[in-house]
Structure 1
Amino acid sequence: MKQRNMKTPYWGIVLLLFVLVLAACGNNSAEKQNSSALPTTTEAPAESTEPTDVSAATKKVTTIHGDVEIPTRPQRIVTDDYLGALIALDVIPIGTPGLHLKNLYFAEALAGIEDIGAYGNSSIEKIIDLQPDLIITSENDETKYNLLSKAAPTISVPYGQLKNAHEELNYFGELLGREAEATAWLADYDKRVAEAKSKVDKAIPPDATFTIFEDTDKAVYVYGDNFGRGGQPVYQALGRTPPSSIAAEIMEKQYKEISLEVLADYAGDYIILTSDSKTLEDYKQDPIWNTLDAVKNDHLYVWKEERSWYYDPIAVLSQTEELAAWISGE
């Protein structure tokens, strides 16, 4: 009797569990059927605000030091040269050597640009402090270039590689994504240079020769068409030539130290002369200079280094108009 009473509740529990399992299976089957009847939807991902092509933020530029990856739109540029070209493109760097900060031809654009030290010997510490995202340099020395490239991506364009305003503006226009600005600036440049050249061509004979000199306390130098002191305005923009006897030499070397004894051998019909210590009247009274035909005929133009040294596109344009006004007698 006791055994029977013990078995009865056991089987009752088993039967109850079996019923519950059947009910649960039925519910699950119904849920599956209901679920399969619903449409499956995939929520569209939110539109990303990030650029789809990350590589568009940078580009590779081939240089004498190999390929360099730079920002397509750099915001913090340090340059030890080519300042005038950047300003012509409406690009204002954050740092440049003190010598460039004295450039009178675009003084109004220099506010806020930091001095990075002496020209040709910039302070790498100062450059690093400025946190540039691009460095533009004319430095060709491997050691100095490597120091600069550790501070930021560095583009080296050695001095003389870009030979005129067109090459300079087109190169940096493409480098910095400012092609439209370069085209517009050069169109105005060409127009104004043509006007200046027309004045000169009407005023003097086509075969009149020109020489570019610099007179310092220690020596006299003669210059070619791509080394400042008026070479670009006279020989490139105005299309004038040096005496044939010296043309090949100075155009190849670009500058040469000469003695006063051979001064007459290099002097053209017109002389553009840089001197920080002497004036036009001083040269008219000088026993050597006053023997030159250019001095005798008032074909000598004397200016200071602060105006003749610079050879950027903005300076060259201003110098061209200045010299054209003098030559044409305006």
Structure 2
Amino acid sequence: MKSYMLGLGIISVVLVCAACGEAGSSEENNASANEVVEVDSEFTNEKVEIPANPKRIIADEYLASVIALGSMPIGAKELSLKNPYLTEYTDQIESIGMDGNESYEKILSLQPDLIITGTSDQAVYDELAKIAPTVAIPFGTLKNTEEEITGIAQLLGKEEQGEKWLENYQTRIEAARQKAQDAVGEDASFSILEATGKSIYVYGDNFGRGGQAVYQALDFQPDEEVADIIMEEQWKELSFEVLDEYAADYIVLTSNDKTIDDLKSDPIWSGLDAVKNDRVYVWQEERSWYYDPFAIVEQTEELADWLAETN
């Protein structure tokens, strides 16, 4: 993937002064408006300058991480603005359109000084770069919350804020993990499934639906027989004939139209041990699809509470 490579150990930035001249003590303590950061770019095969202290950020991706670091973007995608885990932050952020159909005109009108995008499409990047300095971090480049917060903090020059946010995050995650493992034991296996219409999907640890919370934060695992397939492919459509092979001791199920009672009355679902023993957590896609840092910590605590109550 062509990108500005960001993350743990893979960001390369150099502070440079864009204008020469004498600076007073106040300017020495605070980055001036002319100070920029040089970022390695595989798109252009050269250093690209971005503001050291951007004030008008378009978060085409990574909205939650930018907010976590104390910055408030001026624009973001519609789907990100609908994130239920960010409702207290997004009232003043303007929509730049739906995912895959963002409005360049809208982005231009907002006069950004930095655009952070998740695209790996050269044509999309080129259009964004015409508007403002643009950093592309393609989907999957940052593998977990720690890498995402650290990478975005390095980009924005907010490493201290990033470290503090992660300290609080780890405290909450460790408490939730202990609660969950005390409830079910370390050897319990978990499946991350989604039922939409007549289709069933299984997910790994970096594709939403609770995978990050279950497999990364709570440190549970799928059944050994299918673990490699799930983690390598990250998502896979299943036939009903093989559902029992992927159904573990506990199931975290995304569905907008199924309840536990529906599963128990279904001839296929009702045969699964997790369904028989009430070890299924059903939530709607608006709660499970998101896997930003805010979503993951709240999902982790939500699932830990369910496991404690269930057992």
Give the TM-score, by structure 2 length: 0.88
Task: Note the C-alpha offset of 1:106.
Answer: 1.7
Q: What's the counterpart of residue 37 of structure 2? A: 59
Contact 1:64 1:156 (8 Å CA) reproduced: no
Instruction: State the 1:91 CA deviation.
Output: 1.1
What stretches of structure 1 of length at least 5 have no aligned partner?
1-45
Find out whether 1:106 has 2:86 as its counterpart: yes
Aligned to 1:137: 117
1:275 paired residue number: 255
- 1:305 & 1:215 partners in 2: Cα distance? 10
Amino acid at match of 1:289: W
Q: d(CA) in 2 for partners of 1:256 and 1:189?
A: 30
Deviation of residue 120 (structure 1)? 2.5
Give the SS at the match of 1:328.
Answer: helix
Change (3 A) 1:64 1:235: farther
Q: Which residue of 2 aligns with 1:90?
A: 70
**CA offset digits 1:72-110 (Å, max 9, x no partner):** 010111112111111111111111111111111120100
Residue 195 of structure 1 corresponds to 175
CA deviation map 1:175-211 (0-9, x unaligned): 1011111111100111111101111111112111001
Contact 2:59–2:66 at 8 Å: present in 1 too?
no
The equivalences for 1:300-319 within 5 A come to 300-319=280-299
Per-residue CA deviation, residues 269-293 of structure 1 (Å, 9 max, x unaligned), is 0000001122222112211111100
Cα distance in 1, alignment partners of residues 281 and 182 from structure 2: 19
> C-alpha separation between the residues in 2 aligned to 1:50 and 1:129?
33
Query: Among the aligned pairs, what percent are the same residue?
Result: 51
Kept in 2, the 8 Å contact 1:68–1:155? The answer is: no
Query: For residues 198 and 59 of structure 2, what CA distance do their matches in structure 1 show?
Result: 31
Q: Deviations over 1:215-235 (max 9, x none)?
A: 111421100000000000000
Q: Distance in 1 between matches of 2:304 and 2:87?
A: 22
Against the structure 1 CA distance between its residues 75 and 293, is the aligned structure 2 distance closer, same or farther, given a 3 Å change threshold? same
Q: Distance in 2 between matches of 1:94 and 1:189?
A: 25
Question: Which of residues 164, 174, 185 is equivalent to 2:144?
Answer: 164
Aligned length: 286
Kept in 2, the 8 Å contact 1:60–1:69? The answer is yes
- Deviations for 1:44-77, whole angstroms, at most 9, x for unmatched residues? xx98799589796101112442432100010111
1:194–1:48 Cα change, 3 Å: closer
CA RMSD of the aligned region, Å?
2.1
**Which amino acid letter does the alignment assign opposite residue 323 of structure 1?**
L
TM-score (norm 1): 0.83
Report the 3-state secondary structure (helix = DSSP H, G, I; strand = E; otherwise coil) of the residue aligned with 1:327.
Answer: helix
CA deviation after TM superposition for structure 1 residue 254, in Å:
0.7
